């Protein structure tokens, strides 16, 4: 599959790009600026090696959205609506995975608190913005830190909570995410569960600060994962 990461030039996008490559997927780094996307691809090549990074391309967000089979959104909350509007015409029924966390820090507050989103969660807001495009919206990657994703020589080592209304799309995403080293994707149910998934992240950021780490993540126990 071709995974297009929109706003893929930040830490979360770069980390996910590396892990998608490890999961044998093709990756497109999208950006508002083609030069910035190209720089990000060069950074990944330097970081993990040219041979390992042979399946990455750089594009503008619009071209990436048109070329990708699955779209992944990794922009701050304040850029979410504008980015989605800019690519809406290219969505055409594709899976769109939204990693957005509505952190207060995006509006000048604390990263250990969430802002309330009118629609209930950032992922539900994405669904509203993309209404009419046929997008199958999923929330995922909200609780996995970029530090764990970028640390490519080690397993990510935490669960990936995922929510969405389209069962087939969730299954496709889960099959790919389960190939990330040390990650189990957990289907949490309909998209409205993103309200809870997104709110775990400021808790994890607070724990990272308290315990002086960048790797805080979660693992759910007691589930029959077959
Ligand atoms: N970092 C983490 O550990 C982590 C963990 C879980 C979830 N998340 C979530 O993942 C998302 C991305 O996180 P990040 O740390 O990678 O964010 P980031 O570095 O602040 O931003 C990612 C990219 O978004 C684009 N962007 C930034 N401001 C924009 C604006 N005003 N308008 C349009 N595009 C803009 C930029 O891409 P271009 O300039 O190239 O267009 C930027 O490189 C956030 O919603 C965050 O809450 C992050």
Give, for ligand 1, the residue of 74, 77, 142 to mutate: max count of ligand atoms closer than 8 Å to Cβ: 74
pTM for the model stands at 0.98
Ligand 1 atom closest to the Cα of residue 40 is: 40
User: pLDDT by residue (tens digit) across 188-218?
Assistant: 999 999 999 999 999 999 999 999 999 999 9
Residues 194 and 138 sit within 8 Å (Cβ to Cβ):
no
User: pLDDT by residue (tens digit) across 82-136?
Assistant: 999 999 999 999 999 999 999 999 999 999 999 999 999 999 999 999 999 999 9
Is any ligand 1 atom within 6 A of the Cβ of residue 74?
A: yes
Is any ligand 1 atom within 6 A of the Cβ of residue 107?
A: no
Distance between CA atoms of 97 and 190, rounded to whole angstroms? 14
User: pLDDT by residue (tens digit) across 151-194?
Assistant: 999 999 999 999 999 999 999 999 999 999 999 999 999 999 99
Does the domain made of 2-210 have the CATH classification 3.40.50.720?
A: yes
Is any ligand 1 atom within 6 A of the Cβ of residue 142?
A: yes
Output the six-digit token pair for 4.
Answer: 């297009």
Output the six-digit token pair for 225.
Answer: 């994962």
Is any ligand 1 atom within 6 A of the Cβ of residue 217?
A: no
Rg (CA), the chain: 16
User: pLDDT by residue (tens digit) across 45-72?
Assistant: 999 999 999 999 999 999 999 999 999 9
DSSP per position, 110-126: -TTSBPP-TTSSHHHHH
CA distances from 152 to 12, 13, 145, 192, 221 (A): 13, 14, 13, 31, 25
In which band, very low, low, confident or very high, does the pLDDT at 226 lie, cut at 50, 70 and 90?
low
Distance between CA atoms of 145 and 156, rounded to whole angstroms? 9
Please report the pLDDT score of residue 86 as a whole number: 98
Give domain limits for the chain.
2-210
Beta bridge partners of residue 73, listed in sequence order: 6, 98
Give the residue from 140, 138, 188 showing the smallest Cα distance to 164: 138
Cβ-proximal residues to 39 (8 Å cutoff; 6+ apart), any chain? 9
Distance between CA atoms of 211 and 7, rounded to whole angstroms? 29
Is any ligand 1 atom within 6 A of the Cβ of residue 31?
A: yes
Q: Residue 176 C-alpha to ligand 1 middle, in angstroms?
A: 22
Note the residue count of the chain.
226
CA distances from 3 to 23, 56, 75 (A): 11, 10, 16
Is any ligand 1 atom within 6 A of the Cβ of residue 12?
A: yes
Distance between CA atoms of 86 and 22, rounded to whole angstroms? 29
């Amino acid at each position: 599959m071709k995974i297009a990461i929109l706003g893929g030039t930040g830490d979360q996008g770069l980390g996910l790009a590396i892990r998608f490559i490890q999961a044998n997927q093709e990756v497109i780094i999208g950006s508002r600026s083609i030069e910035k996307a190209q720089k990000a691809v060069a950074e990944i090549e330097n970081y993990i090696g040219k041979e390992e990074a042979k399946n990455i391309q750089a594009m503008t967000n619009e071209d990436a959205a048109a070329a990708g089979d699955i779209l992944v959104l990794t922009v701050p909350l304040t850029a979410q609506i504008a980015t989605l509007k800019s690519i809406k015409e290219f969505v055409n029924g594709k899976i769109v995975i939204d990693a957005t966390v509505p952190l207060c820090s995006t509006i000048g507050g604390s990263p250990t608190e969430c802002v309330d989103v009118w629609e209930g969660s950032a992922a539900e807001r994405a669904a509203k913005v993309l209404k009419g495009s046929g997008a199958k919206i999923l929330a995922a990657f909200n609780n996995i830190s970029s530090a764990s994703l970028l640390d490519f020589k080690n397993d990510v080592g935490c669960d990936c909570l995922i929510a969405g209304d389209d069962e087939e799309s969730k299954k496709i995403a889960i099959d790919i995410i389960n190939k990330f080293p040390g990650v189990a994707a957990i289907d949490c149910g309909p998209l409205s569960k993103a309200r809870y998934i997104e709110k775990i992240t400021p808790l994890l950021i607070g724990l990272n600060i308290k315990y002086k780490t960048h790797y805080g993540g979660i693992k759910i126990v007691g589930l029959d994962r077959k």
